Structure 1
């Protein structure tokens, strides 16, 4: 956008430009970029004011040079930059609480006629970090019950359609009751209700199958497991329905995903289902079993449903996700999410804590910031679990203190390049981040 310059001494033109930049910079540049831009634009404002007040014999270029030197000095000073960051963030977060608290000083009639109109100065109502966190939670992190219920109902309708199709086309396939799982069911979804997991339990004969940790095989990753076929000398191949997906004596997750892709994703009449459900349902191309559902225009984003074949034994749940177990296509992935969610809930119930509230706040902040988006939600959950080992006060009144500690701990883990899983210390939850992503996350948190 082009703005034509003016030599007026009033503040209208300057204020319009500055307010426009500050109100839109956070959306484009993030909090850190908005802070720097805010400091720079304030210095530019001084530059223009000095240039307008300069006497005729003074050189305007000299004043401009001094102003740009001020910008450089502010940007190079960590203390000034941090103060400027705090000022800009406080102002932009609390912008909805603006009020015209100050009136311009009285002036004579002659001054009113000569002086150009001045814009009213607005003073922002500065909130504490505790209040801003609570406000952010209720406005962005916490979803309305209506939105959650609507997404859950739609996911359940898809679940019913898939279950009915498989039972009619493959009645001999031993499957358990399909159900919805994940953050949508556990009230841990933030910003928008736009994804869900559909679990497809495989019923395995306990005497024919055994779940084996990866460390006991050629695999070395703690989350990679194998499903071994046992008692072949007494019960040869063919006694179990799932023997047809054996590879080297193990039930192949890759073979199962390929089978479900052909018999469900490529076979179901999606246009007919779409007309029945009054929405558009289509499979998503890729290695995973995913469906995309688009409803009406009042939905902010389509609903993505991931279909996950699972195998359970006691408290162990294995998911068929070849993309996560690559290059071992026949391995299964150990699901830690149920353990983490259950532990957080137990801790909050014990001391009436705010761990889940803080987790949703952190997840929403990361999702809304492009630089923080690569951080996996599992890393945030485990960060809270680790912090719970050393901190005892998790009341809602301590939300600000716990939030600051999370930021400090997270920066420390990023500096080390490792955040170990709470339940599987051998798993580094930051291993999936590239060096550039880690640097961006550290810069954002430090700002």
Structure 2
């Protein structure tokens, strides 16, 4: 009898697990349902380049309907799981909620942005975790440059040209670097503004950035950013964003037209809200076989799971793409074995290293004991991540984007109106109402 596998989440784990089950789907051994709020997988290491304009945003996402042929893909959210009943409450993007039943559950809901109760943060900051936020940020940066070039008010100009990024991890560092690269290219179209007029500040609460890399590479990156005019504030926190003014723990107040919050993530609260076993951080308690401890018919992996790191006893695997993809591939194999009544294999993977792109043909990379900086680090960053882009179609499109960016300058047009596409229509309706009233 065919088993129904419900995969909650369509990120790295959901996508690669589904890909690994394709043969079982075709043979009828299992049916697979994947639930995701957006209906596509986002290759997050390229979000910064999407924000910077070197990669088309559509090329960093993979539509689940197209990639996971044979699986049922539902767009919406699982809001509650009752594992004793083998049911999940599903809220589609439109229409009433309904109940899904399953035989085997794969929890791959991943993580969400970690925020803090900082005054003004919700009103004035933008996150950096989704392709929508990357597109918004690109449009916003270009709009700020245009605003600065179009005003005679020095305060308005100064605010528009002040950019603050909070978070010295990969997301924050790469976002700032790509935004700066985008701005530098766009300035050639705005007379009267030079790179020296722009203020760039990176705020990090700890004593170093890029913590997954060797400290020497973190220090090198700090030096490289400072050489490009970035004010890197270590051991500094954002204490307020009220009124759009970024107030830091060292007393600095920056009237920031752009404030990016990239201070990490936290596990999706779905597991904890559903009564599944979680640790103090809200991660699902996983075994080395990628099952959920103490439960039958439940598997997990990725950012939302505390997976034991067998190469470092007593520790857990880091929440990054490298582990998520490899765990997902093993998870698919273990699901096959589970359905067929065979033994499961433990997850064991020594950390290879990490890479980061810094725009301007600069980057840093650590592969085992090899450390690369500058152009070689940038090249390693691109080649490493290109290898993990999920389909040949998307690999080709990313390569084409890169090739075009080497020949032509980035497009400097901002399409912020797309985010409020009905504004002109509403204004026209209001004008008509006034005309009729007159």
Which structure has more RCO (C-alpha within 8 Å, separation ≥ 6)?
A: 2
More helix by share: 1
Which structure is larger by alpha-carbon Rg, 1 or 2?
1
Greater per-residue strand proportion: 2
TM interval, shorter chain, is: under 0.3
Q: Under a length normalisation based on structure 1, what TM-score does the superposition of the two structures give?
A: 0.26
